Amino acid sequence: MTPTPKSVRALPQRAGTAIVAGPWPDYTAFRHLPQSDRWRAYECAKRHRADLVAQGFQMAESYDEFIKRVTAELEI
């Protein structure tokens, strides 16, 4: 018996945009740093995402999902 493939939600795509679907950077390696450095890594992650969006990339991960994931990985 072969498993039924999971359905994949198609993202709406604007003409001329590329969808960034991952893999996403993993920030768990920064958990050992002092909190001020983890906040700095968080700000850098947000700037990097904003730069990609400003260049026309569409992110498959919503902004809220991104924030939730990064703050959990950095334990902030």
Residue 7 has pLDDT above 70, yes or no: no
**3 within some domain:** no
Q: Which pairs with CB-CB distance under 8 Å and at least 24 residues apart come from 20-28? A: 20/52, 20/57, 20/58, 20/59, 20/60, 21/60, 22/60, 22/61, 24/61, 24/66, 24/69, 26/73, 27/70, 27/73, 27/74, 28/73, 28/74
Number of domains in the chain: 1
| 22 assigned to some structural domain | yes
User: Taking the model in full, what pTM does it have?
Assistant: 0.70
pLDDT(60) > 70: yes
For residue 36, is it within any domain?
A: yes
Summarised one tens digit per residue, pLDDT across range 9-56 is: 544 555 566 777 777 788 999 999 999 999 999 999 999 999 999 999
Note down the domain range covering 36: 18-74
Domain membership flag for residue 13? no
Is the backbone peptide bond immediately before 3 cis, with ω within 30 degrees of 0?
A: no
